[in-house]
């Protein structure tokens, strides 16, 4: 609920610049997360039963995230100094967003099947940020306070609730590099998967304008809630799948029908409520562009929930090359469509939705081939 306040204080144009910088910094954070998004859930059984294994893996995560974040921060500062000097202050302040991402324990919390805790941490950090928004008088500080809010809540969680995450060992460079080499395929899966959502706002900023970045963000924030649910499904579903070795039934006609039906209901509700949602988020102003964008993006909802078990299945079979090929394919489809059609936010939203279904079709194609 901070968006209406931010829009009323700073306007769409300035917020578009802030959100573009935010997207770029979060892209660096995703790169720094290396292969952990997909590797940590596969270790759920091990870290649940062995405290030493938990500390060892947590230390590895923090060490690798820190070194990559440091390297990318220095490199990005040099680039911004040379080519985008007018945005240097905003960029330096936005880099604080990397700190909470380095020590974010969400993957471990989900792997240990304590998913409600992640929700509580996220909720409290958003409330802290909402309070700080009242006192922000310069748009350059928005990302700084967003990162600070999350960092403050995480430190409080470590100290007051679970000090296991304070036990971080310094690892040798050789150990870190050995892991990086071992999971390089998963890193590329992570890289090409995150490049699609991370590139949308910068593309809109370059081709259409910063005001439209904010209008797209209004729609994207709603979709991120649904996307977050499907992401939580993966990090929750896979540990169970990994521990219990359950059989995959999700692609049966009955289950697929249920998912499609429920997703269609969600799409219908979002289609009807889009004008009202955008009206509230846009500081009580209508926006036909943001409304149409949200309606278009809502068409990808069925994909979010159907792709999770298929992805988990391929990951469990160690079919990383298949996942990588599909991720690259959907990225190519997205960029080709945007290269041809990039005059409006709605065209970019359509390109995004099409690329999402390319991912689903790719997974399903390989699933069928593997089960002949």
pLDDT tens figures, 108-147: 887 666 667 777 888 899 999 999 998 999 999 999 999 9
Instruction: Identify which has the larger pLDDT, 240 or 363.
Output: 363
Tell me how far apart the alpha carbons of residues 43 and 60 are, in angstroms, rounded to a whole number: 13
**Strand, coil or helix: what is 100?**
helix
Q: What is the pLDDT of residue 240?
A: 53
Angle subtended at Cα 278 by Cα 275 and Cα 342, rounded to the nearest 5 degrees: 95
Closest CA to 216 of 2, 26, 15, 357: 15
* Residue 34: predicted pLDDT: 94
Q: pLDDT (tens digit, 9 = 90+) per residue, 10-30?
A: 999 999 999 999 999 999 999
**Each residue's pLDDT tens digit, 246-257:** 455 555 666 677
Q: Would you say how long the chain is, in residues?
A: 372
Q: Where are the alpha helices (DSSP H) in 208-300?
A: 210-244, 253-281, 288-297
The rounded distance, in Å, linking the Cα atoms of 282 and 216 is 11
Q: How distant, in Å, are the alpha carbons of 60, 192, 247 from that of 157?
A: 20, 32, 36
pLDDT at 64: 96
Whether the Cβ atoms of residue 141 and residue 93 lie closer than 8 Å to each other: yes
pLDDT value of residue 364: 86
Task: List pLDDT tens digits, range 55-70.
Answer: 999 999 999 999 999 9
pLDDT at 108: 86
Q: Residue 364: name the closest of 308, 321, 318, 316 by CA.
A: 308
Per-residue pLDDT at 278: 94
* 155 membership: H or E segment, kind and range: helix 142-160
Rounded CA gap, 329 and 331, in Å? 5
Q: Is the distance from CB of 286 to CB of 151 less than 8 angstroms?
A: no
Instruction: Report the candidate in 282, 292, 281 with the shortest Cα–Cα distance to residue 344.
Output: 292
Mean pLDDT, rounded, for 159-185: 90
Q: Cα–Cα distance between 175 and 37 in angstroms, integer? A: 19
pLDDT in tens, 265-275: 888 999 999 99
| C-alpha to C-alpha distance for 23 and 364, rounded to whole angstroms | 30
Instruction: Report yes or no: 33 and 198 within 8 Å, Cβ to Cβ.
Output: no
The average pLDDT across 343-353 equals: 92
* 197 pLDDT higher than 70: yes
Domain limits, the chain: 1-181, 183-372
pLDDT in tens, 126-137: 999 999 998 999
C-alpha 293/C-alpha 62 separation (Å) is 37
Task: Check whether 233 has a pLDDT greater than 70.
Answer: no
The answer to whether 204 and 345 are in contact (CB under 8 A) is yes
Report in angstroms the alpha-carbon separations of 318 from 39, 237, 321.
Answer: 11, 16, 8
């Amino acid at each position: 609920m901070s968006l209406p306040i931010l829009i009323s204080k700073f306007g769409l144009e300035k917020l578009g610049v802030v959100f573009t910088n935010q997207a770029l910094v979060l892209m660096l954070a995703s790169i720094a997360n290396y292969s952990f998004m997909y590797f940590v859930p596969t270790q759920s059984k091990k870290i649940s039963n062995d405290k030493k294994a938990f500390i060892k893996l947590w230390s590895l995560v923090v060490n690798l995230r820190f070194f990559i974040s440091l390297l990318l921060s220095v490199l990005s500062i040099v680039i911004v100094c040379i080519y985008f000097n007018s945005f240097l202050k905003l960029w330096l302040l936005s880099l604080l967003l990397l700190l909470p991402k380095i020590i974010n324990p969400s993957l471990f919390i989900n792997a240990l099947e304590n998913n409600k805790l992640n929700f509580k941490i996220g909720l409290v950090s958003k409330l802290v940020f909402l309070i700080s928004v009242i006192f922000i008088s310069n748009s350059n500080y928005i990302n700084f306070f967003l990162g600070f809010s999350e960092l403050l809540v995480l430190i409080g969680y470590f100290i007051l609730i679970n000090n296991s995450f304070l036990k971080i060992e310094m690892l040798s460079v050789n150990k870190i590099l050995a892991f990086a080499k071992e999971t390089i395929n998963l890193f590329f899966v992570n890289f090409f998967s995150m490049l699609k959502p991370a590139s949308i706002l910068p593309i809109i900023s370059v081709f259409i304008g910063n005001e439209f970045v904010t209008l797209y963000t209004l729609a994207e924030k709603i979709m991120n809630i649904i996307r977050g649910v499907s992401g939580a499904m993966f990090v929750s579903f896979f540990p169970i799948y990994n521990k219990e070795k359950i059989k995959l039934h999700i692609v049966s006609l009955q289950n697929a029908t249920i998912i499609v039906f429920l997703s269609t209901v969600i799409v219908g509700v979002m289609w009807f409520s889009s004008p009202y949602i955008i009206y509230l988020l846009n500081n009580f102003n209508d926006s036909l562009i943001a409304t149409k964008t949200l309606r278009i993006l809502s068409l990808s909802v069925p994909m979010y929930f159907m792709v999770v078990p298929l992805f988990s299945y391929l990951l469990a079979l160690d079919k990383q090359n298949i996942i990588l090929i599909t991720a690259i394919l959907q990225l190519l489809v997205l960029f080709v469509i945007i290269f041809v059609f990039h005059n409006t936010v709605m065209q970019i939203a359509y390109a995004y939705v099409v690329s999402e279904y390319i991912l689903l079709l790719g997974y399903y194609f390989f699933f069928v081939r593997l089960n002949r």
